Amino acid sequence: GAGPGDPGLLTVRGRQLLETAEVVVYDHLIGPQLLALCDAQARRVYVGKSADERSTSQQRINRLLVRLARQGRQVVRLKGGDPFVFGRGGEEVLALAQSRIPFEVVPGVSSAVAVPAYAGIPVTHRGLASSVTFFTGHEDPGKRDSSIDWAALARSPGTLVCLMAVGRLPGIIARLRQEGRLDSTPCALIERGTWPQQRTLTGTLGTMAASARHARVQAPAILVIGNVVRLRPQVRWAEQRPLFGRRVLITRAMEKGSQLAEQLMALGADVTALPTVVLRPVPLTARTRAALAQIPQTDWVFFTSAEGIVWLQDVLRRVRKDVRWLKGCHLAAIGPKTALSLRRLGLQVDFTPRRYQQEGVLKDLPRQRLQGKRAMLFNAAGSRDVLEQGLRRLGMQVTRVPVYRTLMPRALQARVAAACAISWDAVTATSASSAEHLYQALPKRKRRDFKRLPFVSIGPITSAAVRARGGRVVAQAKQATMEGLVEALCRYLK
């Protein structure tokens, strides 16, 4: 079970299996962010069906699963919501059982409960509803020998939740009214629940069919009928989030656990990632080797990015050393994230400035006793030399050692023009190079689109890089951190 849409609603077990699957067979409501959890080598097989699915296609899926499993592959069958709730997961595992193929069933968060929850509707509630009935709207309510007992549904005092509600909505409502359910019964119709595009219509059994037609509600949607709908005005939360439905382009990788993407999604944003920067190792030159040999005689070591220490370790490994080589050096980090990546290695950080940029380091560094001391900077090739020059002016002997390079990802060129043509609510810029690469990757005749993008930048240096290319900075973080950026974004989009 993949859950109802919000990628955060995948279970831990579901995630583990996705990450290790060799083949993933998935349906049409599965979002790209879940598929991104799969291993890059994993084969992805789309078997989406439209609303008028035919049983033959289900049989094809069953056969496909058996065939893949017989090839000895680790197969994940990824289905929306819970696999056994109107998901035909039962048929699929029966086919596997008949073929003696071992399987495991991982339940998912069903849209039947999660979608109402995201609309602020508890499906049961003391005093309002002590039962809930889930039923499919797929069946023709006019049919004589229906497998749904419409009279019983209409009489039930509890909540009714109808899945696959869109196609036959007027018929379903008419039938329930005909069987005696009151016109005044509260109703909610929730389209694309848990997604950033979630839309909720409320009304009564008497008004809902007309409202749904008017609003052109489309699948997937869920109809909730009953008094619990009255709780929505107090309980609604998802649509109230500060970035709900806002389309935000982030110009960095949506790597696993990408803090920025996760924070923005938790605030309700519709996040798309367009990685503009990849990090690569540098060649190990004689100069670098000589510099590394000097580490034990160094008084202060400066890190200007969280990545610096990661790549320094890579370089040290190549000369058969490790972080113990930094023993005795004072360590300075440009900001909290850099400090954290040092502390994670068990290293104590001796200095972090108040403003998280190279200028801030120079301003706050305890100036006494720096004269004549040795400093070493580990950073990206081609990065700004403000700190290097400033430390020299303070009388330090400075060695700068590039430990990684930032490059433009090859895939950027293919995607950039289409991405820049979209009208985003905000585009995040988290480094000068991300803005630079975005601009450079655009074909010349499309560069005008760059000027239209509403950039939210992490700090003054990045803002300057955006503006230098004619770009527009609509907001800038007060502190140069991801939290600062998120805060600036919320402020701007409020």
Can you tell me which of 93, 165, 225, 401 binds ligand SAH, judged by CB under 6 A? 165
Q: Is 454 in the site for ligand SAH (CB under 6 A)?
A: no
Q: Is 189 in the site for ligand SAH (CB under 6 A)?
A: no
Task: Kindly determine how many residues on this chain lie close enough to bind ligand SAH according to the rule CB under 6 A.
Answer: 25
Q: Is 220 in the site for ligand SAH (CB under 6 A)?
A: yes
For the chain, helix, strand, coil in percent to 5 are: 40, 20, 40
Minimum distance between the CB of residue 271 and ligand SAH, rounded to whole angstroms?
17
For residue 223, list its beta bridge partners.
162, 189
Q: Smaller CB distance to ligand SAH: residue 3 or 186?
A: 3
Q: Smaller CB distance to ligand SAH: residue 202 or 358?
A: 202
Which range touches ligand SAH (CB under 6 A), out of 32-40, 216-224, 252-260, 285-293? 216-224
Minimum distance between the CB of residue 72 and ligand SAH, rounded to whole angstroms?
28
376 burial type by CB count under 10 A (0-12 exposed, 13-18 middle, 19+ buried): buried
DSSP for 348-371 reads PP-B--SSSSHHHHHHHS--TT-T
Q: Smaller CB distance to ligand SAH: residue 116 or 402?
A: 116
d(CA 128, CA 227): 6
Q: Smaller CB distance to ligand SAH: residue 193 or 353?
A: 193
Minimum distance between the CB of residue 319 and ligand SAH, rounded to whole angstroms?
53
Residue 235: how many CB atoms within 10 A of its CB? 15
Cα distances (angstroms) measured from residue 174 to each of 51, 161, 168, 228, 277: 21, 16, 10, 21, 56
Q: What three-state secondary structure class fits 446?
A: helix
Which range touches ligand SAH (CB under 6 A), out of 169-177, 187-195, 321-329, 483-491? 187-195
d(CA 442, CA 83): 43
Residue 377 has φ and ψ, to the nearest 5°, of -115, 125
Tokens representing 284 are 């190990």
Q: Smaller CB distance to ligand SAH: residue 119 or 154?
A: 119
Q: Smaller CB distance to ligand SAH: residue 190 or 264?
A: 190
Q: Which of residues 65-124 bind ligand SAH (CB under 6 A)?
A: 80-82, 85-87, 110-112, 115
Q: Which of residues 22-51 bind ligand SAH (CB under 6 A)?
A: 29
Query: Pick from 90, 99, 106: which is nearest to 24 by CA?
Result: 106
Contact by Cβ (8 Å): 79, 2: yes
Query: Pick from 295, 382, 267, 386: which is nearest to 334 by CA?
Result: 386
Contact mark string toward ligand SAH, 243..282, x via CB under 6 A: ----------------------------------------
Minimum distance between the CB of residue 193 and ligand SAH, rounded to whole angstroms?
3
Q: Smaller CB distance to ligand SAH: residue 220 or 402?
A: 220
Minimum distance between the CB of residue 4 and ligand SAH, rounded to whole angstroms?
4
Q: Is 193 in the site for ligand SAH (CB under 6 A)?
A: yes
For tokens 């120079």, the residue is 362
Torsional class of 395: left (φ above 0), alpha (ψ -120 to 50), beta (otherwise): left
Handedness of CA 37, 2, 483, 435 (dihedral sign): positive
Q: Smaller CB distance to ligand SAH: residue 132 or 429?
A: 132
For residue 279, list its beta bridge partners.
406
Which range touches ligand SAH (CB under 6 A), out of 160-168, 181-189, 277-285, 387-395? 160-168
**Catalytic residue IDs:** 27, 49, 164
d(CA 203, CA 212): 10
Which range touches ligand SAH (CB under 6 A), out of 162-170, 279-287, 316-324, 340-348? 162-170
DSSP 168: T
Sequence-distant (≥ 6) Cβ neighbours of residue 147 within 8 angstroms = 139
Q: Is 291 in the site for ligand SAH (CB under 6 A)?
A: no
Minimum distance between the CB of residue 169 and ligand SAH, rounded to whole angstroms?
11
d(CA 188, CA 205): 9
For tokens 């709900």, the residue is 244
Q: Smaller CB distance to ligand SAH: residue 135 or 404?
A: 135
d(CA 277, CA 417): 16
DSSP 296: G
Can you tell me which of 10, 37, 78, 164 binds ligand SAH, judged by CB under 6 A? 164
Contact mark string toward ligand SAH, 5..24, x via CB under 6 A: x-------------------
Question: Which residue is at the shortest CB distance from ligand SAH?
Answer: 81
Q: Which residues bind ligand SAH (CB under 6 A)?
A: 4-5, 29, 80-82, 85-87, 110-112, 115, 163-165, 190, 192-195, 219-222
